[in-house]
Amino acid sequence: MVALHVPAIMAVERRAYEFPWTEGVFRDCLRAGYSGWVLLGRSDALLGYAVLTMAVGEAHVLNVCVAPEHQRRGYGGVLMHHLLDIARAHAVGTVFLEVRRSNGPAIALYSQLGFHPIGERRGYYPDDGRREDALVYALELTAGGR
C-alpha cells in the first residue's frame, strides 16, 4: 500500500464500514511505516486491503477489508494469511486484533484462522450515539504453524 492507493481505498472503506477510517488515518499509517497491503484484481481494481503494525514480538491487525461486491470469494482469507506470513517473517509471537461484537463475518473469518477471544474493550467503537464493545482476539504463531 502506497499513498497513491489511498483514494481507491477510501472509496471502498466508505462503502464497507458504517464508521470508516478517514483518509488521514491511512496516510498516518503509511507515514508511520505500518505494514499496509492492497489486493488488486484485473486492471488493478482494488479488491481489498489490510494494515498491520508490529513491535517487540507482537503484531496488531488494524484493518482488513474487502470491497462489498468482492466479499465471500476468499479474499479476506488471502489478506489475513498474508498478514500472518509477514508477522511470522518478523518473528512475531502473537497477533492481536479488535472486532465489533456484532461483526459476524469478521469473527467467523478470524475464528477459522485460529484466533481466539482473550477479552473485550467496553464501548471501544462509535455506534450512533452509543458505543459498541470490541472483542479482542489473539493468535499465537508457531515457527512451522499457521
Ligand X SMILES: CC(C)(COP(=O)(O)OP(=O)(O)OC[C@H]1O[C@@H](n2cnc3c(N)ncnc32)[C@H](O)[C@@H]1OP(=O)(O)O)[C@@H](O)C(=O)NCCC(=O)NCCS
Supply angle C-alpha 117, 62, 58, rounded to 5. 65
Considering 49, 75, 110, 137, which one is annotated as catalytic? 110
Among 29, 51, 62, 64, contact with ligand X (rule: CB under 6 A) = 64
Is 110 a catalytic site residue?
A: yes
User: How far apart are alpha carbons 21 and 19 in whole angstroms?
Assistant: 7
- The secondary structure element, H or E, covering residue 105 is helix 104-112
Q: Pick the stretch among 1-9, 23-31, 35-43, 58-66 that binds ligand X (CB under 6 A).
A: 58-66
Q: Does 83 bind ligand X (CB under 6 A)?
A: no
CA dist 21 → 62, 68, 74 (Å): 11, 16, 23
C-alpha cell belonging to residue 54: 508490529
Among 77, 127, 132, 138, contact with ligand X (rule: CB under 6 A) = 77
Q: Pick the stretch among 1-9, 33-41, 108-116, 137-145 that binds ligand X (CB under 6 A).
A: 108-116
* Interface ranges with ligand X (CB under 6 A): 16-17, 64-66, 71-77, 99, 103-106, 108-109, 112
